[in-house]
Amino acid sequence: MKLDRGGFILMAGSGTRIRSLFPDCPKPLIPVRGRPLAAHIVESMKNSGIDQVVVNLHDRADRIRSGLDPVIPEGMEIRYSMEDRVLGTGGGLQKAFRLIQDFRILVIRTCDILTAYDIGTGISRHESSGAVVTLILSGQGPESESNKIYFSQDGSVILPGELPGSGDRPVWFTGIHIVDPGIFEPDAGLPDPPFSIFEFYRRLKKRGVRIRGEEMREGWLDLGTEDGYRQLPEFLEAWPEAIHPVEVPRHR
């Protein structure tokens, strides 16, 4: 029987973009208001009604698990998908398919983007749209990431590597996907890993699948870079709701 909704958090990367600030700390465990960044990501899942989450791990996996397990909210279950080598954002989901296949809706998040966006609202709009894939976008973002993704007037997304049309406008991807996990079935035409999830989305589009965009108005910040992390105090002053209420973790 299909479960209503589940989550997948990408944590297998090595965090090279922020290693200059935290040479000995895995990216999911960098501190945000005295708690690991990953704890805030997990809590945002819990607050949107997601009680089961899959996390992929590779670099410093044991240390991440030991740092994450104590801050898992009460009533939430986390399962781990271990990668012997980095498989990419798409390959990681392909490998974890048996762990995500029973969800009716899957919310995918990177572990390094903090946002005030209400994922529950995004799920509701995704369901109403009938879309297979919805990407959460923003009209603002770092200049270094500009002109990579575009938003069409019909609500579809122009992915990196695709040519935008005259009416398409540049947007930023906030690291949140809402998808039907069935798209990652082993016989779904996925490339050989490692591969980016955007590479797979481009294949889906060639098969006639529409990649839908949902533009949010809330703030977001990429903490995977040194520049982004230095902006954290200012960001939290403007968007305090990006930090979710803390629930007491269960004892393990």
The helix (H) or strand (E) run that includes residue 232 is helix 232-238
State the pLDDT at residue 244. 74
State the pLDDT at residue 146. 87
Query: Residues of 137-160 as b/e, b for ≥16 C-beta within 10 angstroms?
Result: bbeebeeeeeebbbbeeeebbbbe
State the pLDDT at residue 1. 60
CA distance 137 to 156: 11
State the pLDDT at residue 246. 61
pTM over 0.85: yes
State the pLDDT at residue 17. 85
State the pLDDT at residue 252. 46
Find tokens 């209420």 and name the residue.
245
State the pLDDT at residue 184. 93
What are the structural domains, with CATH classification, of the chain? 3-239 (3.90.550.10)
State the pLDDT at residue 209. 94
Mean pLDDT by 10 residues, the chain (252 residues): 88 84 92 94 94 95 94 94 94 95 96 94 96 97 91 96 94 97 87 93 94 97 94 96 68 46
